[in-house]
Amino acid sequence: MSKKQLFTLEFPVRCSPTILFEFLSTPAGLQEWFADKVDEWEGVYSFSWNGGTPDKAKILDQEEDKFIRFKWLHSEKNEYFEFRIAKTEISNQTILVIADFAEKNEIKDQSQLWSSQVKDLFHRLGN
Model pLDDT, residue 2: 58
Predicted pLDDT at 127? 83
How many domains does the chain contain in total?
1
The parent domain of residue 73 ranges over: 5-125
pLDDT of residue 88: 87
Across the beta sheet with 37-41, what order do the strands follow? 5-13, 94-102, 81-87, 67-72, 55-63, 44-48, 37-41
Which residue has better confidence, 58 or 88? 58
pTM: 0.92
CATH assignment at residue 71: 3.30.530.20
First to last CA, the chain: 40
Q: Which residues of 64-94 are buried (b: 16+ CB within 10 A; e: fewer)?
A: eeebbbbbbeeeeeeebbbbbbeeeeeeeeb
Q: Out of 35-44, 51-60, 74-83, 87-96, pick the least confident.
A: 87-96
Higher-confidence residue: 96 or 91?
96
